[in-house]
């Protein structure tokens, strides 16, 4: 994981460094939450929708029930963000995002990395957070992205 205190703009740049030229980021958004977004955010998500499924991609088991109905997992909209401005907009829709890196035109199950953003209280002050960017393909990150990220941003790598 990367611990950081970067702006959303810099976080978008960091994410772009984790994506190969022939790949894209697909951000997730629960379909059932669309009504919580204004019309422009809904349009942004729908216009970039690539897949709708119920795939759990995070590297830990689900612990909080989130079923829409009995034995029915919620539908997840996976929408594309390739350009820095689109990545930034996706982050601003949900700062605690999860996304996958997928080759353009590839099948969903062929994603090469899962990226997720988390926050943890760093003190007893409920407004004091530490932010972490996690990923599932650690070797690719260490070999290809880390040197460039450390050169450009103030981050630290944690286990």
pLDDT digits (tens, 9 = 90+) for 21-80: 899 999 999 999 999 999 999 999 999 999 999 888 887 766 555 656 666 778 999 999
pTM, to two decimals: 0.89
Q: Is residue 72 part of a domain?
A: yes
**DSSP, residue by residue, 88-114:** HHHHHH-SS-EEEEEETT--GGG--EE
- Number of domains composing the chain: 1
Q: Is residue 52 part of a domain?
A: yes
pLDDT value of position 83: 93
Q: Is residue 61 part of a domain?
A: no
User: Rounded mean pLDDT of 10-16?
Assistant: 95
Which range marks the domain in which residue 132 is found?
A: 2-56+66-157
Q: Is residue 105 part of a domain?
A: yes
Whether the predicted pLDDT of 85 surpasses 90: yes
Mean pLDDT taken over the chain: 89
Q: Is residue 141 part of a domain?
A: yes
State how far the Cα of 92 lies from the Cα of 140, in Å rounded to an integer: 26
Please name the residue that has the structure tokens 């090469």: 112
pLDDT value of position 78: 97
Q: Which residue has the higher pLDDT, 139 or 63?
A: 139
């Amino acid at each position: 994981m990367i611990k950081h205190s970067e702006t959303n703009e810099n976080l978008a740049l960091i994410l772009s460094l984790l994506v190969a030229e022939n790949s894209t980021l697909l951000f997730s958004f629960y379909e059932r939450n669309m009504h919580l977004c204004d019309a422009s955010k809904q349009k942004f998500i729908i216009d970039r929708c690539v897949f709708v499924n119920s795939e759990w991609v995070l590297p830990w088991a689900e612990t909080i029930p989130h079923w829409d109905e009995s034995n029915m997992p919620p539908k997840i909209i996976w929408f594309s963000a390739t350009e820095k401005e689109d990545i930034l907009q996706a982050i601003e829709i949900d700062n605690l995002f999860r996304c996958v890196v997928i080759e353009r035109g590839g099948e969903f199950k062929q994603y090469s990395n899962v990226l997720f953003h988390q926050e943890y209280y760093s003190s007893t002050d409920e407004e004091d957070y530490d932010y972490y960017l996690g990923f599932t393909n650690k070797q690719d990150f260490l070999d290809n992205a880390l040197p460039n990220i450390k050169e450009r941003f103030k981050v630290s790598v944690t286990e």
